[in-house]
Amino acid sequence: MGHHGIGMMTDNGERLINFCQENDLVIGGTLFEHKDIHKLTWTSPYGRTQSQIDHIIINGRWKHSLQDVRVMRNADIGSDHFLMMAKVILKLRKVRIGVSRSKRFDVDKLKNSKVKEEFSVALRNRFSTLEDETALTIDNFNKAMKEAGEEVLGYRNNRKTEWISEETWTRIEERRQIKKRLLDSNSPRLKDKISKEYRGKDKEVKKSARKDRREYTERLAKAAEVAAGKKDTKTVYQNTKKTEGRL
């Protein structure tokens, strides 16, 4: 255990330290000097009590590979616990150079009739600038498609979970903004008010996410059923794999 822990040690804390000593483990959050707000990992529902109760523990053999451990207060995870981040540097025996993936447009947005119309208008505007049919080469066509896609659709964020809708992502962003206001507030009364607002928005996010997951699973099941009728075993297998853990 390092010298930068915070708070009073409980019986559970003593048991954790004994366990670490017996197994040559290191409590990462106590090794690095930070402001208290970047050590406290939990806050009570109304923000009146805070404590360091979550830890990142590493084998003593890798102690010097651990470069930093701190709390990321602005990360909105829908919990009264804060996200902890550890920076670890490892020496790799072999580095494999992967093939870079090209960016793809977020074509799922075209399911929205309004977005679909905006995309059509953007394409027409670009084609109308071409003087005659001879100017419509494959290069100009690709350029027009790319510009319209960038303007209206944007690129797909591969980090986003496939089944979460844009509506839910909007609610998640709203929740994140409320969390930011909560962290920036110094007034206990205002904290209570914002905490209630945050819990309400968190319920909205979880309800919307459950709906998205249910609808996504239903779509996969229907697609698998159609594929089975066509004896398309590849699609059946792929959709079945996607639904694992979602039913």
pLDDT in tens, the chain (247 residues): 667 777 788 888 888 888 988 888 988 888 888 888 888 888 887 777 888 888 889 888 888 888 999 988 888 888 888 888 999 887 766 656 655 566 778 777 787 788 888 888 888 888 777 655 556 677 877 888 888 888 888 877 655 567 888 889 889 889 989 998 888 888 888 989 999 999 999 999 999 999 998 998 888 888 888 888 888 888 888 877 777 654 4
In this structure, how many other beta carbons lie within 10 angstroms of the beta carbon of residue 146? 12
| pLDDT at residue 39 in the model | 85
Three-class DSSP labels, the chain: CCCCCCCCCCHHHHHHHHHHHHCCEEEHHHCCCCCHHHCCCEECCCCCCEECCCCCEEEHHHHHHEEEEEEECCCCCCCCECEEEEEECCCCCCCCCCCCCCCCECHHHHHCHHHHHHHHHHHHHHHHCCCCHHHCCHHHHHHHHHHHHHHHHCECCCCCCCCCCHHHHHHHHHHHHHHHHHHHCCCHHHHHHHHHHHHHHHHHHHHHHHHHHHHHHHHHHHHHHHHHHCCCHHHHHHHHHHHCCCC
Note the pLDDT of residue 100: 55
pLDDT at 219: 87
Q: Is 201 exposed, middle or buried (0-12, 13-18, 19+ CB in 10 A)?
A: buried
To the question of pTM greater than 0.85 for the whole model, the response is no
Contacts by 80-83 with C-beta closer than 8 Å and gap 24+? 80/42, 80/43, 80/44, 80/45, 81/41, 81/42, 81/54, 82/40, 82/41, 82/42, 82/43, 82/54
- pLDDT recorded at residue 99: 53
**What is the Cβ-side half-sphere exposure of residue 243, based on CA atoms within 13 angstroms?**
18
The pLDDT value given to residue 138 = 79
18's tokens: 């004994």
70, 84 contact by CB (below 8 A): yes
pLDDT, position 246: 46
- pLDDT at position 78 is 81
pLDDT of residue 96: 63
Residue 94: its pLDDT value, please?
66
pLDDT score of 237: 84
